[in-house]
Structure 1
Amino acid sequence: MSTFPDSAPGTENTLDTDVIHEDRLWRDNGWTCRVIKNEDDDGWAVEMTKDGEAEPALVGPWTMGRDKKNPKPLDVSAFNTLVKTASEVLRRHEQQLHAQLHKQVWVDTANDRISVTLDIVPDEDDPHAVLAAENASGESLARLRVAPTFKLSARSAAEWIESSYAKPR
C-alpha cells in the first residue's frame, strides 16, 4: 500500500498497488514473476511478465530448493535480477523491431549530403512505407508513400534523388 503525501494527517488515502511477495509469485514494480513446474522435466522454471502483456518476456530455469523437490523461494535479490534481465530482453526486441522497420542511408550529392529514410508501417489493413529525404541541415526535401516491399539502398536512394524525388516504380 502507498499513501498520498498530500493527505491530511490521520486521513491518509491509500492505494492498493497489488504488491505480492510469495515464495512462488512476486508482483511488484510493473512485473509479475511466477515460479512454475517445468514442462520438459522434473525441475522448475521462472517466467517474468510485464504488467499489461499477455506473454512472458522471459522464461528460464529455476533453482531447486534444499529438499531437491520444491523450487527455491523467490526473494528480493532474485526478483530484481530477473526484472533487469527481462527488461533487457524487451529492450533488445524493441531495437530489433525498430531496425527491421526503419532504414536510413546517406547520399552525397554535388551540393549536399542527403539522408534518405524508409519507415515501414506494418498495418494489417493497409501496410505501407514512408520514404523521406532531408538535407544535412534537417530540412525536409521530399516525403512520399511507397510499397512496404520497397528496398532502400544507397543506389535506390541516389536514383530517387536524381529523379527529383519522383515516385519510385
Structure 2
Amino acid sequence: MTESVSLSHLPDPSAADDTAPIQAPRLWRQDGWTAQVIKNEDDEGWAVAMYKDGEAEPALVGPWTMGRDKKNPKPLDGAAFRTLVKTASEVLRRHEQHLQAMLHKRIDIATAGGTITVLLDIVPDEDDPYACLSARDAGDELLAEVRVRPGFKLNATTAAAWIADDFNPPR
C-alpha cells in the first residue's frame, strides 16, 4: 500500500548553499544527502524524504517509525541515515539502469558474413526527439547508421529486415 505524503511544506533542499553536516532529530544532512522526517498528511504517521544534494525532488519517500510516545517520530540517527542513503542510492541506480535500457537497445543478428550488432540509441530531445539506428560488424566497424523516429521498434525481425535491405532507412 502506498502512503500519500505532502511535500509542499518542505524547504527546497537544492536551494540550500550550506552543505555543512546537520544531525538533528528530524533533519540529517551528510555526505551529499539530506533526510527529513515529515508529517504524513493522510494519517497520524510520519514519513522520511531523502534528497540528493542539488535535487529538488526526493529520491525516496517512505514511512517512518513512530517514537515511544506514539505521537512523535523516532529521531534520526547515524545508522538509520546510512540505511536510508543506501536505499535511496539503490533507487536512483535502478532508475538510471531503467532509463539506460529504455534509451539504448542492442540486438545481435547472425548472418552468413558473421554476427552484426544492431543498436538503437534514442535521443529524448524535448523539441526534436529522434533515434539513431546503427550496425556494427564483429570487429566493431560501423557498417551503417541512419536516423529513425524515436518510436522505432528494434527487435530481431526489424533488425534482420534492415540488414537484408542493405541498410536502407526503414520506413
Whether TM exceeds 0.5 here: the answer is: yes
From 26, 29, 32, give the equivalent of 2:28: 26
Equivalent pairs, count: 154
Match of 2:124 in 1: 122
Deviation at residue 138 of structure 1 after TM alignment = 1.2
After superposition, the C-alpha distances for 1:48-104 in whole angstroms (9 at most, x for unaligned) are 011111111111111111111111110000000000000001111111111111111
Give 1:123's aligned amino acid.
D
Deviation at residue 17 of structure 1 after TM alignment = 4.0
Match of 2:112 in 1: 110
1:30 and 1:145 mapped to 2: Cα distance?
A: 39
Match of 1:57 in 2: 59
From 160, 167, 170, give the equivalent of 1:158: 160
Q: Unaligned stretches of 5+ in structure 2?
A: 1-17
Q: Equivalent residue of 2:108, what SS?
A: strand
Identity %: 68
From 123, 135, 138, give the equivalent of 2:137: 135
Runs of 4 or more off by more than 2 Å in structure 1? none
2:101 and 2:88 mapped to 1: Cα distance?
A: 20
2:55 and 2:124 mapped to 1: Cα distance?
A: 20
Which shifted more, 98-107 or 33-42? Answer: 98-107
Match of 2:68 in 1: 66
Match of 2:148 in 1: 146
- The TM-score with structure 2 as length reference comes to 0.87
Q: Unaligned stretches of 5+ in structure 1?
A: 1-15
Q: Which has the larger radius of gyration?
A: 1
Q: Equivalent residue of 2:97, what SS?
A: helix
From 85, 98, 101, give the equivalent of 2:100: 98
Higher RCO (C-alpha 8 Å, min separation 6): 2
Q: Equivalent residue of 2:72, what SS?
A: coil
Which shifted more, 134-143 or 112-121? Answer: 134-143
1:139 and 1:61 mapped to 2: Cα distance?
A: 51
After superposition, the C-alpha distances for 1:96-127 in whole angstroms (9 at most, x for unaligned) are 11111111111111011011011111111010
